[in-house]
Amino acid sequence: MAVNAKRPEIIALSRDLRGIPQCDDYERMISGMMYNPNTPKLLEARHHCRGLTADYTNMDTKSIRYDQVFEKRLEMLRKLCGKVGDGSFIEPPFMPDYGCNIIIGESCFINWNVTILDTSLVVIGDRVQIGTGVSLLTAGHDTSILSRQKFVEFGHPIFIEDDCWIGANVIVLPGVRIGKGSTIGAGSIVTKDIPPFSVAVGAPCRVKKTIQSAEEEEQDPNNQYRNLVRSH
Residues annotated as catalytic are 141
Q: What's the 3-state SS for 172-216?
A: ECCCCEECCCCEECCCCEECCCECCCEEEECCCCEEEEECCCHHH
User: CA–CA separation, 156 vs 142, rounded Å?
Assistant: 13
Helices (H) and strands (E) in the chain, counts: 6, 19
β-pairing, 165-166 with 183-184?
A: parallel
Bond into 93 cis (ω within 30): yes
Calculate helix-pair angle for 69-80, 40-57, nearest 10 degrees. 170
